[in-house]
Amino acid sequence: MKEKIFRYANFNLDALLALAEKLRCRPCTCDVSKPPKFGSLNWVIFVSFDDGIDWVFRAPRTGLSAIMTKESVSKMLVSEASTLKYLRAHSSIPVPEVYSYSGSKDNDIGVPYILQSKATGRALSEYDWAENSRGPPGYKVP
């Protein structure tokens, strides 16, 4: 049976873990029994280190639209990684740190990706939207 972690793409998990361990000099794992989180354009898995730190491995979802060609997906991913790196270096805006990225599948992992720090805060999916069906948490009707 195929592990759930490979739901959106076949990629080299061993190469991903080796890269993360090399960059951080600590052992790490991924839970292959959990399917990736996903959004409109990307799927995400978490790389967990032995000291409790998590990194985010993000890759584009493929085959969703004729509008998003491989070339446009590649350009968008490289632009996102470059923008995050620029903002982190030249502003005080709290953005994730980009540790590695590739705009094409021609890498040891086999998919285009961004490997980044996990942003602090609470995931939008963790909010109970039934509490306030008129808007986001904290929203007050005028």
Classify residue 43 by burial, with Cβ atoms within 10 Å: 0-12, 13-18, 19+. buried
pLDDT at 107: 97
pLDDT at 135: 62
Find how far residue 90's CA is from the centre of its chain.
22
pLDDT at 72: 87
CB 131 within 8 A of CB 114: no
| Distance between CA atoms of residues 100 and 21, nearest Å | 12
> What HEC string does 88-101 produce?
HHHCCCCCCCEEEE
pLDDT in tens for each of the 142 residues of the chain? Answer: 468 888 888 899 999 999 999 999 999 999 999 999 988 889 999 999 999 999 999 999 876 665 678 888 899 999 999 999 999 999 999 999 999 999 999 999 999 999 999 988 877 777 776 655 556 666 665 5
Give, in degrees to the nearest 5, the angle at Cα 105 between 2 and 80.
Answer: 110
pLDDT at 110: 96
Domains and CATH numbers, the chain: 4-131 (3.30.200.20)
pLDDT at 44: 95
